[in-house]
A = this chain, B = another copy of it.
Amino acid sequence: MPSLDLAGWVSPKEEATGRPAAVHNRAMTLDDKMVAAYRRDGFLMLPPGTLPDGVLDDIRNAVPRVMDQEGPHRILERDGTTVRSVYGPHQTDPVLSKVVRLPVLVEAAKQLIGDDVYVHQSKINVKASFTGDQWEWHQDYINWLRADAIQRPDLVNVAVFLDEVNEFNGPLTFIPGSHRNGLLAGTDSDGMPVGYEDAPSWVSTLTANEKFQLDHAVIESEARRGGLVSAKGPAGSVLMFHANVLHASGPNLSPFRRAVLLLVYNGVGNAPLEVANPRPAFLAEREIAAL
């Protein structure tokens, strides 16, 4: 259960200035239609205004300082200089630590999962102008099953658009309904992707080339059945999607950044089992505490 002081959003700026906090206590409940759409399609778009006032600006302001922190949690593009992703920012940044506790997000995740929730993983995918690379077709859950021993695919991704997402900057693209048949057929690719040969093995799950390659025939068959849908919207939009829904995204061709904050909520009853070589905490939370 959220604590009282986390039930409202107080931006760091307001705290610093001592001005009265703008308190949002809107524990959003998704309506039945929204829940049904999520169950049917595997994703659901919520418009800007879903987040309390000020939250988007505070997250956007956090991005540069989060991106500046070097370490293994920070993944670069193939060019070796542009930041591709930063993992675990909610574990280190005070603003993002509060964002994952926002009642509007926590309550929505609880509704879709049917359990109390915690954050299994967080990241910022920067998708820099011109250089932000694509993400191949994949289901998220296979990594969380194989690497983290999470037993059920009942995790919910919450993507907060930090910039406008449009057809030019690499929107997430889904095959509606593709989450309903569990893990789909594919094969493991050998070795590390080009440009990342010397990186730790878990890096292969975080680059442009997925370690586990879904069969093209399976993706084609799913696309013929369900079609393709891209999730576009203004900054501040919130996109929720299922751990098993097939998705991909193109590179950012445009001259403008397309950053997204991704939070993966999991049910406390679906916590990772023991594994021989657990991934770093910035990739897989193992200290479970309901939000």
- Mark each residue of chain A from 117 to 154: 1 if its CB lies under 8 Å from any CB of chain B, else 0: 00000000000011000100100000000000000000
Sorting the interface of chain A by its residue count into under 10, 10 to 19, 20 to 34 or 35 or more gives: 20 to 34
**C-alpha gap A167/B173 in the complex (Å):** 10
If A216-B130, A230-B168 touch, whether A223 touches B255 (CB-CB below 8 Å) is yes
* B255 x A167 contact (CB < 8 A): no
B residues in contact with A228, CB < 8 Å: 168, 254
B residues in contact with A137, CB < 8 Å: 130, 253
Of all chain B residues, the one with the shortest Cβ separation from A249 is B253
Distance in Å from the Cβ of A219 to the closest Cβ of chain B? 5
A248 at the interface (CB under 8 A from B): yes
* A254 x B168 contact (CB < 8 A): no
A176 at the interface (CB under 8 A from B): no
**C-alpha gap A253/B247 in the complex (Å):** 10
A251 at the interface (CB under 8 A from B): yes
The oligomer's copy count stands at 2
* B216 x A129 contact (CB < 8 A): yes
B residues in contact with A220, CB < 8 Å: 129, 255-256
- Mark each residue of chain A from 179 to 216: 1 if its CB lies under 8 Å from any CB of chain B, else 0: 00000000000000000000000000000000000001
If A168-B228, A228-B168 touch, whether A134 touches B251 (CB-CB below 8 Å) is yes
* B255 x A216 contact (CB < 8 A): yes
Distance in Å from the Cβ of A117 to the closest Cβ of chain B? 31
A-B contact pairs, 10 of them (CB 8 A): A129-B216, A129-B220, A130-B137, A134-B251, A134-B253, A137-B253, A168-B230, A223-B255, A223-B256, A228-B254
A residues lining the B interface (CB < 8 Å):
129-130, 134, 137, 167-168, 170, 173, 216, 219-220, 223-224, 228, 230, 248-251, 253-256
